Structures are given as C-alpha cells and as structure tokens.
C-alpha cells in the first residue's frame, strides 16, 4: 500500500527486454535504503526490487503490467516518481493507493494560474472508471484532488512544490500517464452496478 506522496524522482538508467518482461534499472537517492523484495511505486506502478548495485536498483515488469500502464513509453533518462510502501503507524498524508494502475490517461491541457497549474486528463470511460468532484485520483503515483470531474476527463490543481518535486514539470500535451482511481470509489461503484 502507498499514499501517493512522492518521496523522490528516479532516473531510468537501463531497460532490458527479457521475453515478455522488462528489467528496469533506476538510479535514486533512496536506493541505499532499499532491499531485495521491497515494493516501490514507479509513476504509480508497484514493482518489486530484484537487484541493487551501488546507487542503482532493478525492478521487473511483466507483460500484463506493461500492457496496462505507460511503461512501454519509458526511455533511458526519463524521470519517474518514486514512493516506497507505507509503514503501519505512519500518517496517511495522501489517500489509500494500491499501486495497481487502472488505465492510461492522456494529458489534454496544461494551464498556468499565477503560481500553480491545472492539468486536464482524458481517459476511456468505457472501462467504467469514474472520478468525483473533490475525490481522490492518483496520476503517475501522485495523490491528487479531482476538480472539474466529467464522464471521461478531469482536472487537478498542482502546487509549486508538487510541480518541482515530481515529473509533472516534464508533462506536455499528449503525455500518457498512469491513472489509479480511488479504491473506495471503485468498490462503491462495483456494488452499485451489481444491484
């Protein structure tokens, strides 16, 4: 489990295909605190540490993960948002995040507003995911509050700290992002649709 509060950015150093899998090597300031078998969210994708070498570590993504996330667009040199799994007893500063991406969204608009930014994302409504005004959403692993919720799009407001300390500062129109919709909302929606 995660909270959507990004700890640091990691730089992709290597991508190695292995059948349907992809081994991803990342340099990060938290590498020395990691251990083999630990879960780390990478742009919101929960991946397991399989190797550590100095300030770099490696995780492996299977085909299922590659198919359902923006991982196939990752390139050497890209910066990814990193968050280690939360500890029991810690404050839950964001919201409950599983690290299981529901679908890919596309950045449709970026608007500066005198020191902060509004980002608008579009997603495929046919997959039955939903947002609600003032509800929670995870975009590339970042816990955010939804504004302007529509059937297949939503906006989020980004403060300067989040902009500077995540990869939001690198987004362009058309960028693909990982979306994890609020887990409580997903269960409520599922229960409602079964009635």
User: Is the model's pLDDT at 194 over the cut of 80?
Assistant: no
Mean pLDDT of all residues belonging to the chain: 93
- Helices then strands, each counted (H, E), the chain: 3, 12
Q: Is 160 helix (H, G, I), strand (E, B) or coil?
A: helix
User: Is the model's pLDDT at 160 over the cut of 80?
Assistant: yes
Q: Residue with structure tokens 């929606």?
A: 189
In Å, how far from its chain's centre is CA 8? 13
* Tens-place pLDDT, residues 89-140: 777 788 888 899 999 999 999 999 988 999 999 999 898 888 999 999 999 9
Q: What is the mean pLDDT of residues 146-166?
A: 95
- Tell me the pLDDT band of 170, cut-offs 50, 70 and 90: very high
* Tens-place pLDDT, residues 46-82: 999 999 999 999 999 999 999 999 999 999 999 999 9
DSSP letter for each residue of 46-102: EEEEEEEETTEEEEEE-HHHHHHSSGGG--TT-EEEEEEPPPTTS---S--B-S---
Question: What percentage of the chain reaches a pLDDT higher than 70?
Answer: 99
pTM listed for this prediction: 0.91
Distance CA 121, CA 158 (A): 13
User: Is the model's pLDDT at 191 over the cut of 90?
Assistant: no
- Segment holding 187, helix H or strand E: helix 183-193
* Tens-place pLDDT, residues 72-86: 999 999 999 999 998
The confidence score (pLDDT) of residue 90 equals: 77
Q: Is 180 helix (H, G, I), strand (E, B) or coil?
A: strand
- Domains of the chain listed by start with CATH number: 8-84 (2.40.30.20), 103-193 (2.40.30.20)
Q: Could you tell me the maximum CA-CA distance found in the chain, to the nearest angstrom?
A: 54
3-state secondary structure 102-123: CEEEEEEEEEECCCCEEEEEEC
Q: Residue with structure tokens 């596309």?
A: 106
């Amino acid at each position: 489990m995660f909270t959507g509060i990004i700890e640091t950015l990691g730089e992709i150093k290597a991508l190695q295909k292995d059948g349907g899998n992809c081994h991803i090597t990342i340099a990060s300031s938290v590498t020395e605190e990691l251990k083999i078998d630990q879960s780390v969210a990478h742009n919101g994708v929960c991946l397991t540490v399989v190797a550590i070498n100095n300030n770099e570590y490696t995780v492996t993504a299977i085909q299922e993960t590659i198919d359902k996330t923006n991982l196939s667009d990752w390139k050497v040199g890209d910066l990814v948002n990193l968050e280690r799994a939360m500890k029991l007893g810690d404050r839950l500063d964001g919201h409950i995040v599983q690290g299981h991406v529901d679908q890919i969204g596309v950045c449709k608009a970026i608007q500066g507003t005198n020191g902060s930014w509004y980002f608008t994302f579009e997603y495929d409504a046919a997959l039955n995911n939903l947002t609600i005004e003032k509800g929670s959403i995870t975009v590339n692993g970042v816990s955010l509050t939804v504004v302007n919720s529509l059937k297949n799009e939503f906006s989020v407001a980004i403060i300067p700290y989040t902009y500077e300390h995540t990869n939001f500062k690198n987004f362009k129109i058309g960028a693909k992002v990982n979306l994890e919709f609020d887990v409580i909302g997903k269960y409520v929606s599922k229960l409602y649709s079964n009635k």
